[in-house]
Amino acid sequence: MDALTLLPWIFDGVTGLALLLLASWALASPRLFTGIVMFVAFGLMMSIAWVRLDAPDIALAEVAIGAGLTGALLLAALARLTAAQAAQESASQSAKRKRTLRLFQWAPALLLAMVAAGLAYAVQSLPPDSAGLSADVAANIARSGVSNPVTAVLLNFRGYDTLLEILVLLLALISVWTLGGLSPQRTVPPGPVLDVLTRVLTPVLLLLSAYLLWVGARSPGGAFQAAAVLAAAGVLLLLAGWRPQPRFTGIPLRLVLVAGPVLFLAFSLVTIATGRNLMEYPPPRAGVLIFLLEAAATLSIGVTLVALFLGERPPDKEGQ
């Protein structure tokens, strides 16, 4: 074995080892901030691993949502957590409360163990030596309306999975709004550098989001990646001190939030009513329909992610 064939093995080995180390540091670090930084680094390494596995679509989603936006959400949560903890510690912290807290630390571990057992069972029950479904996808791709097999699966063959994913995000936002959130972060004046960077990057990010959405029909890209870039623009704007005007945060914001799920549901109802299968696209118009659904989904997912970063429900015109 000469050096050039050995090189990919070394590269993959280092990547895998780094992933394991970063994951353990992210879980075990005593400081939450360090844990979050390790988690973001883990996301970046994970996206490299996905590229090595020939899955650029997942790599894009991992780096944009897994590392970028989840990292921003975690940091925003940490900033609120430290503020809330400081307020609580000045009140009282009895030994009993500490014991309940320790009890609750076991609950996530138990849930994770159950998920792991379920996954192990699912892997065990897979048929051995299966060729997978890629041959079926390749056989039907001409009728799907797009030429990127990942988009064909996500939006056409398994469209209801994507619908449920969008609904999960919406559910998360509704939960955050219902819980009322914590007081907003202390806002530091952004300063000229962040201000100029935001002004320069926002149009570029909007353009990139549209590009990713458009190119998703043929090559890696699509609604979730485009939405993540859109949300990045929103997070940047929020960090620079921008807040949506109250006249947009009432009904208009809610309309944008539900546009994707509502279009998906309406389309599903129409397909059932016209005697087709659930979310079965009529082949001649499949491409256009997929693009419209993806565009609405991009807008909804992006705005949902930004609203999650903002945390609490923005005040609207009625003043509540």
Shortest distance, position 227 Cβ to another protein, whole Å:
19
Burial class (CB in 10 A: 0-12, 13-18, 19+), 188: exposed
Shortest distance, position 196 Cβ to another protein, whole Å:
8
Shortest distance, position 286 Cβ to another protein, whole Å:
28
> In the complex with another protein, which residue's Cβ is closer, 227 or 236?
236
Question: Which residue matches tokens 């990919």?
Answer: 8
Shortest distance, position 181 Cβ to another protein, whole Å:
24
Shortest distance, position 154 Cβ to another protein, whole Å:
24
Angle at 179 between CA 230 and CA 313, to 5 degrees: 40
> Rounded to an integer, what distance in angstroms lies between the CA atom of residue 293 and that of residue 8?
39
Shortest distance, position 3 Cβ to another protein, whole Å:
14
Could you tell me the two tokens for 203? 């149009």
Binding pattern for the stretch 186-215 against another protein, x by CB under 8 A and - elsewhere? -----x-xx-xx--xx--x-----------
E strands, 130-219, are none
> In the complex with another protein, which residue's Cβ is closer, 9 or 211?
211
> In the complex with another protein, which residue's Cβ is closer, 120 or 200?
200
Question: Which residues between 137 and 196 bind another protein (CB under 8 A)?
Answer: 191, 193-194, 196
Q: How many chain residues are in contact with another protein, going by CB under 8 A?
A: 8
> In the complex with another protein, which residue's Cβ is closer, 166 or 239?
239
No. of H helices and E strands in the chain? 12, 0
Shortest distance, position 78 Cβ to another protein, whole Å:
15
> Rounded to an integer, what distance in angstroms lies between the CA atom of residue 19 and that of residue 38?
10
Give buried/exposed letters for 70-88 (b at 16+ CB in 10 A, else e).
bbbbbbbbebbeeeeeeee
Of 246, 226, 211, 216, whose CA–CA distance to 300 is shortest? 226
> In the complex with another protein, which residue's Cβ is closer, 111 or 204?
204
Contact status, residue 258 vs residue 93, Cβ threshold 8 Å: no
Could you tell me the two tokens for 278? 């659930």
Distance (Å) of CA 196 to CA 189, 228, 241: 13, 22, 12
> In the complex with another protein, which residue's Cβ is closer, 74 or 236?
236
> In the complex with another protein, which residue's Cβ is closer, 229 or 286?
229
User: Which residues contact another protein by CB under 8 A?
Assistant: 191, 193-194, 196-197, 200-201, 204
